[in-house]
Structure 1
Amino acid sequence: MTEKTSLKQSRNPFLTIGRYVRQVIDETRKTVTPTAREWMAWSIAAFVFVILLMILVTGMDFGLDKLTLMVFG
C-alpha cells in the first residue's frame, strides 16, 4: 500500500468507525463478569459510601448554618 492510499483510507470516516466498532467488540470480549458475591459487596460499599457522604454534607450544612447565625445573627 502506498502512503497516499493509506492516507486516504485513514481519512475515510466509515473505515474509521468500522475499526472503532471492531476494537470495542474485541475489548468487550476481554472483560470479566463479576460474581454475585462481588456484585453484592460493591453494591454495599457504594451504598455505605453514599450514606457517609450524605451525613458529611448534612453535618456541614447544619454546622455552617449555626456558624452563620452566630456571626451574622
Structure 2
Amino acid sequence: MSQSPSTHDQGSTPAGGDPKGPFGKLWLFLRQVVDELRKVVVPTRRELTNYTLVVLVFVVIVIGIVTGFDAVFSRGAEALFGSTGGGVEQPVEPPAGGAED
C-alpha cells in the first residue's frame, strides 16, 4: 500500500479542485474513460475460441436441461389434468335421425 491514489481516481483535476463547468466535467470523464480502456486486456484468438466453445457447450447443456424439465412437467400436467388432444377441438357430429332440410 505504498502507492497513493491518483487524482484521476478521486474525480478531481490535477490542480486539486473539482472540475469547473460542464466542459471540465466532460473532459474529466473522457480522460477517465481513456484510462480505463488502457487497462482492458484483449484476449488472444485461442482464448477467444476457447471462451466461445465453453459458452456454446454450456448453452447446449442448459437447453437439454430445460427440454427435460419441459417433458417431465408436460407429462405430469397431462397425467393430472388429462389429455386435451393438443389444443385442437374435434367437430361435433349432429345426432342421427335429426330433422332434415
For normalisation by structure 1, the TM-score amounts to 0.76
Among candidates 78, 94, 101, match of residue 69 of structure 1: 78
Aligned length: 66
Structure 1 match to 2:50: 41
Structure 2 CA distance for aligned equivalents of residues 8 and 41 of structure 1:
44
Question: Could you tell me the percent identity over the aligned residues?
Answer: 35
Question: Whose helix fraction is larger, Structure 1's or Structure 2's?
Answer: 1
For normalisation by structure 2, the TM-score amounts to 0.57
Aligned ranges 1:1-73 → 2 under 5 Å: 9=20, 12-73=21-82
Q: What stretches of structure 1 move > 3 A for 4+ residues in a row?
A: none
Structure 1 CA distance for aligned equivalents of residues 35 and 77 of structure 2:
56
Structure 2 match to 1:3: none
Structure 1 CA distance for aligned equivalents of residues 35 and 18 of structure 2:
25
RMSD between aligned residues: 1.8
Letter in 1 for 2:23: F
Unaligned 5+ residue runs, structure 1? 1-5
Bigger RCO (CA 8 Å, 6+ sep): 2
